């Protein structure tokens, strides 16, 4: 039909390309130009794992911010908008933190006031409260309705979400060891993070009628989803998607950290100390030393 709206029509977003390209360029510059002077001779500037995390993180940032996810999520389906938020808050931030070597983080943060500010904001309780407060605010209907209509507000909210997500993930997988918490605390921390989003998720799942009026004005219903079905699907994605992701991390951490120790502590196999293994003595005795030891040692007294 002539004049029909095509929700899948390509729309370029040069601001996204510049943002992602700038971040990639800055990362490459730090690794290539700054890294050789920042690490000691013989130490790797960046590991293969960090490069893989950087590539995955930047790709997720680009995919979530560009066509078609951005266009469909902003103009047609709130469920796609929710997928965008999940990527920007749960999947992408930990990858970018894992991609950052410790030397790079220390150069960016420094040792003065900036470090003190980062240290305070990355305390588990502070980071969790700030992150979840932003999550709650970004799902308030008046905020969503205005962000869909005002582009700068939309990107500003996404920037705020990413920054607070980085704070939330710093105690778990941040590049600075002194800011990370213990393995047991990480599991409790991540489990708590999965509880708070259930409030807006449950509200969206069981709400009747359109919660976000801006999506009522969509010229086309993508995949024939009604506004109510769309927001209920968004609630399911928010509740199940985030919870499954966080719980999966908790389970993996438990088995890699504690199950291995439990197996070693309860094994029936005898563990031979290193001192009993040939070749692991602190000092090898010579024949002369053994002979002198016998000569200087008095013979035991005979008993009747």
Contact between 238 and 88 (Cβ < 8 Å): no
pLDDT value at 185 more than 50:
yes
CB 246 within 8 A of CB 191: yes
**Does 270 have pLDDT greater than 80?**
no
Q: Calculate mean pLDDT across residues 269-281.
A: 52
| pTM confidence score | 0.82
Lowest mean pLDDT among 19-23, 35-39, 256-260, 283-287: 283-287
What average pLDDT does range 174-193 have in this prediction? Answer: 94
Instruction: Output helix, strand, coil percentages for the chain, rounded to the nearest 5.
Output: 70, 0, 30
- The CA distance from 249 to 187, in Å, is 8
The answer, yes or no, to whether residue 192 has pLDDT greater than 80, is yes
Q: Is the pLDDT of residue 151 over 70?
A: yes
- Which of 125, 235, 240, 108 has its CA nearest to residue 175? 108
Length of the chain: 304
Q: With 60 as the cut, is the pLDDT of residue 279 above it? A: no
Please give the span between the terminal C-alpha atoms of the chain, in angstroms, as a whole number: 119
The pair phi, psi for residue 110, each rounded to 5°, is 80, -165
Tell me: the pLDDT tens digits for 206-265?
A: 677 778 888 888 888 899 999 989 988 988 888 888 888 999 999 999 888 766 665 555
Q: Is the dihedral of CA 246, 189, 138, 64 positive or negative?
A: negative
Local confidence band at 205 (pLDDT 50, 70, 90 cut-offs): low
Structure-token pair, residue 77: 């389906």
Sign for the pseudo-dihedral over CA of 140, 233, 71, 67? positive
């Amino acid at each position: 039909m002539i004049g029909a709206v095509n929700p899948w029509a390509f729309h370029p977003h040069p601001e996204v390309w510049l943002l992602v390209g700038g971040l990639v360029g800055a990362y490459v510059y730090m690794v290539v130009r700054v890294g050789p002077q920042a690490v000691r001779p013989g130490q790797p500037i960046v590991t293969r794992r960090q490069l893989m995390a950087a590539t995955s993180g930047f790709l997720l940032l680009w995919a979530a911010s560009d066509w078609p996810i951005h266009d469909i999520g902003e103009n047609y389906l709130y469920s796609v908008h929710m997928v965008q938020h999940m990527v920007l808050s749960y999947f992408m931030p930990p990858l970018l933190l894992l991609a950052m070597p410790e030397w790079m983080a220390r150069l960016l943060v420094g040792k003065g006031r900036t470090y003190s500010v980062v240290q305070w904001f990355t305390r588990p309780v502070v980071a969790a409260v700030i992150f979840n407060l932003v999550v709650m605010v970004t799902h308030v209907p008046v905020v969503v309705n205005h962000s869909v209509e005002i582009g700068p507000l939309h990107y500003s909210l996404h920037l705020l979400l990413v920054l607070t997500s980085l704070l939330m993930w710093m105690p778990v997988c941040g590049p600075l060891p002194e800011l990370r918490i213990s393995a047991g605390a990480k599991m409790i921390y991540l489990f708590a993070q999965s509880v708070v989003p259930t409030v807006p998720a449950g509200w969206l799942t069981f709400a009747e009628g359109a919660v976000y009026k801006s999506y009522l004005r969509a010229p086309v219903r993508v995949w024939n989803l009604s506004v109510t079905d769309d927001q209920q699907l968004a609630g399911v994605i928010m509740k199940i998607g985030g919870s499954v992701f966080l719980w999966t991390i908790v389970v993996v951490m438990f088995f890699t950290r504690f199950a291995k120790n439990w197996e070693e502590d309860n094994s029936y196999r005898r563990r031979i100390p290193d001192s009993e293994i040939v070749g692991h003595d602190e000092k090898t005795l010579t024949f002369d030393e053994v002979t002198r030891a016998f000569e200087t040692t008095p013979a035991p007294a005979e008993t009747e």
